[in-house]
Structure 1
Amino acid sequence: MKVGLQIQRALQGLLNKAAVDGGAYGHLIHHFTRHRLPLHALQLHARIVLFSITPDNFLASKLINFYTRENRFCRALHVFEEITVKNAFSYNALLIAYASREMYSDAFNLFSSWIRSSVTARPDSVTISCVLKSLSGYDDFLLCSLAQQVHGFVLRGGFDSDVFVSNGLITYYTKCDDVVSARKVFDEMPERDVVSWNSMISGYSQSGSYEECKELYKAMLGCPELKPNGVTVISVLQACGQSSDLVLGMEVHKKILENHIQMDLSLCNAVIGVYAKCGSLDYARALFDEMSEKDSVTYGAIISGYMAHGLVKEAMALFSEMESVGLSTWNAVISGLMQNNHHEEVIDSFREMIRCGNRPNTVTLSSLLPSLTYSSNLKGGKEIHGFAIRNVSDNNIYVATSIIDNYAKLGYLQGAQRVFDNCRERSLIVWTAIITAYAIHGDSDSACSLFNQMICLGIKPDNVTLTALLSACAHSGESDKAQSIFDSMATKYGVEPGVEHYACMVSVLSRAGKLSDAMEFISNMPVEPIAKVWGALLNGAYVLGDVEIARFAYDHLVEMEPENTGSYTIMANLYTQAGRWEEAEMVRDEMKRIGLKKIPGTSWIDTGKGLRSFIAKDGSCERSKEMYETIECLVESMSDKDYIMKQELDVTY
């Protein structure tokens, strides 16, 4: 029977006060809900109650849907509880209601109780789609362990041929960062719709698989029956921005205009974002200025673009124009200031953000911690760690690695190890962080032990992990161990040595006193040496007092980095130590000729009202006399305790 006839029958029944079947009433409730006629639906439900009509599962499902849309969820629950014998119709209605309200835990618990309480439970494809959506909405990483079990349930129930279920599986897998399994589901689908392609493309983009994202988008363009929509192009534009692919980004922008895809705010932000990230800042700013509607994401895209290209002044000028600043924009500012080494401003901005009532998230914390490390603020690092624990953010891999880095660089290795031990998700990034922590302290045995534990767990190292391991050997002077690791990189771990690894090996050999071997190693390098390579050789020669090799490295360094004061300082100091005063003076004269000055030492004090910095030999402060008198007292106390002051610090590359 057609829906229209059923609605007519229900209306006639109401007029005649005659009982009709629940199906007709259900279609009528659905009609009122769809056409946004809430008063009619409420009146009809009142009549149903008045006539003592017991809603069947179909009618109940339509009532649940109506009350959910009207944001009267308690009424929806009441309707569900009144059903005497529930089936998939009513369960699906409440599952959809929970999922639409992002009450994912309630949805999953409802499904679990249904399956456990009824041997006759028959979930259908709608049920499974709701469960998958609910699981995908969880932030708890532990639920990712259910992925294979849920997939098995789908296969056993024969739901894998349903396009909606398969789309849900793809989303679930990508949320768990398992794009390989997601792609397997995608490839095995008998038919795919636009949502299928969007789910996979979005999954690649969000997981950082930018090349795969772009390739799948190009494959989608080759399907004449499919047309990319706004969801598609937003994901691809994000991938283009992150991979600095301006050419494809421009092609996508052109496709948006050609296909008349609606340019809503989210899409406008994505377009601006790709141009800003790829360095086309003038064009990005022109698009920004043309927009009639902007939000914090819009401002954040331009600010992030300015910051990424070192235009801090322009970024802060735009930031100051904002009337209402959201957390995402604060994060863009704090992260950008940190990347541009404006560490004092990072901490001051963080304080201002808190004062304005914004609550920091994991992005804020992971951006703040490097600045606390730079200013030797271990107390601040511990405070951030405590905040992260209280707000269940300490297991975020980026926060955890930033805390490990902060503790390690400020001498609190025990704390770094404790953070690592408490990490539930020990990804490669976390393993690399703790290996680097021990490398900083020259503990190659612990670094290698952790590395071997990681390998035993089946985690494959990348170039950064191996750089950390070689660095540990360099700090401890274990050249043989480092050589063994270096020689096995390609064959054992599938990582071809890069210039960073060659720089580490030069540092290893130089620190071990093998300057001749280091020179020979450089001459045999298959890649062109970078400044770090020559810097490692210069430092090694400085420590051993080898003026000639130091000069050889110095000549290459000043050619590559003529404005790096560290090279001049080390060379001048080495000449001075060797008693070659004229040559030392020549190096200093060269610095003066090109307008370079030795970077003065800096220290910091957190006064509670902000970070206060002090610069060596700076007499501009009104309390300079008092400060220098205090320093003289400290120096005298140090001398009394037989501490030896080092006049010059080595410059480490």
Structure 2
Amino acid sequence: MKTANSLLNKLQWLPTKLQESLRTLNPSNSNLNYGAYGHLIQHFSNHHLPRQAKQLHARIVLSSVTPDNFLASKLISFYSKTNGLPQAHHLFDQIPQQNTFSFNALLIAYCQHNKFADTLRLFSSFRDVIRPDNFTITCLLKALAGSFCEEGVAKEVHCFVLRGGYNEDIFVCNGLITYYSKCMEFGLARKVFDKMGERDIVSWNSMISGYSQGGFYDECKALYREMVDTLEFKPNAVTLLSVLQACGQSNDLLLGMEIHRFIIENSIETDVLICNALIALYAKCGSLDYASKLFEGMSDKDEVTYGSLIYGCMFHGFIDKAMELFRQLKHPGLSTWNSVISGLFQNKQYDGVLDLVWEMQACGLRPNAVTLSSILPTFSYFSNLKGGKEIHAYAVRNNYESNIYVATALIDTYAKVGFLRGAQRVFDQSKCRSLIIWTAIIAAYASHGDVDAALGYFHEMLDNGIQPDPVTFTALLSACAHSGIVDEAQRIFDAMLVDYGIPPSVEHYACMVGVLSRAGRLSEATEFISKMPIEPSAKVWGALLHGASVCGDVELGKLICDHLFEIEPENTGNYIIMANLYSQAG
């Protein structure tokens, strides 16, 4: 009679004779080798042979042999992979003296089935019976990241890790980074990352992907640069996917192209996820032709692929082409619906946005955070406060109100329909206040002319360690323009480059011209334009024309209109303003 050990050796060389060899087993042998049987079960599991594994388990059961922790762990792992979670738990319950090894196998089984709440309950019930180890804590962190993210719980778990001395384990630290990132606690995640004595590629990817998924795109790209510069680890597909997504969201075409070149030069496999990210990057950054070439070259396309190209067509105003692509899909998924809805909004097809949302729901799909952030601004154009509140209620019921894009859209919508109190409430309830959330509330108060509140939130944002971007300064300068605060506006404008390294764009120059013009300081505004290091745009001249119109300065108005008629001859509004100026002058 062959022993399990000899059978295992045979199976390694003759996998086609598994069934024949299985018949030679005799589990009732008094010299049963649990380790060999455990490895045999694992062998069946690895080679996707569930029938043979179950037959072997049946023979063990019929022989009244009780598996030890090692053999039971292998059986638990096998049943977990074959959707037999109840059998796996039953096996664990039958072990006479359960230990950490078998306990971890069961925890992993529950995590693999995304039964995160059950994983936490299981850990809670056995934590005083079985001493957890590093693998236990890693499973716990994965379960927490999948189901329960609150600041208090995160810190409590971290304290548990420190007390148990698990903080030196690289897998535990990686789990903490992932957990904190899911909880939007990026400061704490980064502290764990920075304090790690040893990192692996997962450590870098956890932090980089956390930044990318959380909307901290600059931090994501900066950490990627740091990773490349250290030469410690070579970026893999997971790294590149996260950074490509960050590049697409932040319109960083140069870095995106650099990563694309890196992928080609290093022969990194471009699966559908990488290709989708590249198409989204090029489409969002305006390179629609290249995005189309990538699209045509893909043999395996999914909903995101179509959605990315549809967005590109919408971005360039090719609405009919985008809708043609959309209608080619028999059963478009939610991501594709969202791309079309977003594109229609960008092209000011507001009625079409709402019609498509109703059509989507009629097809049995429910709006998600992306849908909500696209349709909310539509209500501001219709001055529909009731519709905005209904969407807000839907977001709360479906736990979308914490999403930074939904929160930003709510703040913006409420501000535009005059419901500033609602915008303030959304901001107050935001747990993770990223830059775009701060900028949204600053812009909300700026649009209502409350410069004190806008500046107050700006300084509070700085106190919280959040650095402004160009959009933040546009909102601040707009607030000053509404209130006619010239000196404060000048200080803010000067601070952009000096204190924050942000060179003013034409948008910021237009705001400053607006500030000076609204204050009646037309000569200063004219001189300001003459000293601009960039070519004045229609917005810049338009801001000065508005001031000239208010002050009744016909000569200046005529000079300004000469520039405007050359830049945008089709804009009839400029002709009307000039006619009104002549009319006022008699």
Q: TM-score surpassing 0.5?
A: yes
Gapped runs of 5+ residues in structure 1? 580-653
Q: Which residue of 2 aligns with 1:572?
A: 579
The 2-side partners of 1:457 and 1:93 are apart by 42
1:408 paired with 2:415, answer: yes
CA deviation after TM superposition for structure 1 residue 249, in Å: 5.1
Q: 1:283 to 1:523 in 2, by over 3 A?
A: closer
**Residues 240-288 of structure 1, C-alpha deviations (whole Å, 9 max, x = no match):** 5445566665665566566554444334434444443444433433443
Q: Which residue of 1 aligns with 2:225?
A: 215
Report if aligned partners of 1:284, 1:302 keep a CA contact under 8 Å in 2: yes
Q: Which residue of 2 aligns with 1:584?
A: none
Q: 1:489 to 1:243 in 2, by over 3 A?
A: closer
CA deviation after TM superposition for structure 1 residue 362, in Å: 0.7
Q: Alignment partner for residue 519 of structure 1, among 503, 526, 533?
A: 526
The 2-side partners of 1:491 and 1:246 are apart by 26
The 1-side partners of 2:460 and 2:321 are apart by 47
Residue aligned with 2:66, SS: coil
Report if aligned partners of 2:184, 2:432 keep a CA contact under 8 Å in 1: no
Q: 1:368 to 1:576 in 2, by over 3 A?
A: same
Q: Alignment partner for residue 38 of structure 1, among 24, 35, 50?
A: 50
Q: Alignment partner for residue 472 of structure 2, among 465, 468, 472?
A: 465
Residue aligned with 2:557, SS: helix
CA deviation after TM superposition for structure 1 residue 330, in Å: 0.8
**Residues 396-428 of structure 1, C-alpha deviations (whole Å, 9 max, x = no match):** 221122122112211222322333333333333
Q: Which residue of 2 aligns with 1:612?
A: none
1:62 paired with 2:74, answer: yes
The 1-side partners of 2:552 and 2:545 are apart by 10
AA partner of residue 87 (structure 2): R
Report if aligned partners of 2:248, 2:281 keep a CA contact under 8 Å in 1: yes
Q: Which residue of 2 aligns with 1:373?
A: 380
The 2-side partners of 1:39 and 1:248 are apart by 51
1:130 paired with 2:139, answer: yes
AA partner of residue 73 (structure 2): S
Q: Alignment partner for residue 296 of structure 2, among 257, 267, 289?
A: 289
Report if aligned partners of 1:304, 1:332 keep a CA contact under 8 Å in 2: yes
Q: Which residue of 2 aligns with 1:96?
A: 108
**Residues 95-117 of structure 1, C-alpha deviations (whole Å, 9 max, x = no match):** 211221222333234334433x2
AA partner of residue 108 (structure 1): L
AA partner of residue 133 (structure 2): D
AA partner of residue 82 (structure 1): Q
Gapped runs of 5+ residues in structure 2? 11-21
AA partner of residue 347 (structure 1): L
Q: CA RMSD in A?
A: 3.6
For residues 483-632 of structure 1, the aligned pairs below 5 Å read 483=490, 485-486=492-493, 498-525=505-532, 528-579=535-586
1:142 paired with 2:150, answer: yes
CA deviation after TM superposition for structure 1 residue 578, in Å: 2.5
Q: 1:105 to 1:384 in 2, by over 3 A?
A: same
The 2-side partners of 1:217 and 1:491 are apart by 29
The 2-side partners of 1:195 and 1:56 are apart by 33
Q: Alignment partner for residue 404 of structure 2, among 397, 401, 426?
A: 397
Q: What is the number of equivalent residue pairs in this alignment?
A: 570
Q: 1:8 to 1:489 in 2, by over 3 A?
A: closer
For residues 165-314 of structure 1, the aligned pairs below 5 Å read 165-176=172-183, 193-203=200-210, 205-206=212-213, 207-209=216-218, 211-212=221-222, 215=225, 218-219=228-229, 229-242=236-249, 253=260, 256=263, 261-314=268-321
CA deviation after TM superposition for structure 1 residue 522, in Å: 3.5
CA deviation after TM superposition for structure 1 residue 217, in Å: 6.7
Residue aligned with 1:14, SS: coil
Report if aligned partners of 2:149, 2:182 keep a CA contact under 8 Å in 1: no
Residue aligned with 2:150, SS: helix
The 2-side partners of 1:438 and 1:183 are apart by 32
Q: 1:481 to 1:393 in 2, by over 3 A?
A: same
Report if aligned partners of 1:201, 1:217 keep a CA contact under 8 Å in 2: no
**Residues 43-64 of structure 1, C-alpha deviations (whole Å, 9 max, x = no match):** 3333433444333322222222
Q: Alignment partner for residue 32 of structure 2, among 3, 20, 29?
A: 20
Q: 1:487 to 1:379 in 2, by over 3 A?
A: same
CA deviation after TM superposition for structure 1 residue 87, in Å: 2.1
AA partner of residue 133 (structure 1): K
1:318 paired with 2:315, answer: no
**Residues 279-326 of structure 1, C-alpha deviations (whole Å, 9 max, x = no match):** 443343344334443221121121122222332232222112111111
Q: 1:165 to 1:45 in 2, by over 3 A?
A: same
State the identity %.
59
Report if aligned partners of 1:6, 1:27 keep a CA contact under 8 Å in 2: no
CA deviation after TM superposition for structure 1 residue 447, in Å: 3.2
Which of the two has higher C-alpha Rg?
1
Q: 1:434 to 1:184 in 2, by over 3 A?
A: closer
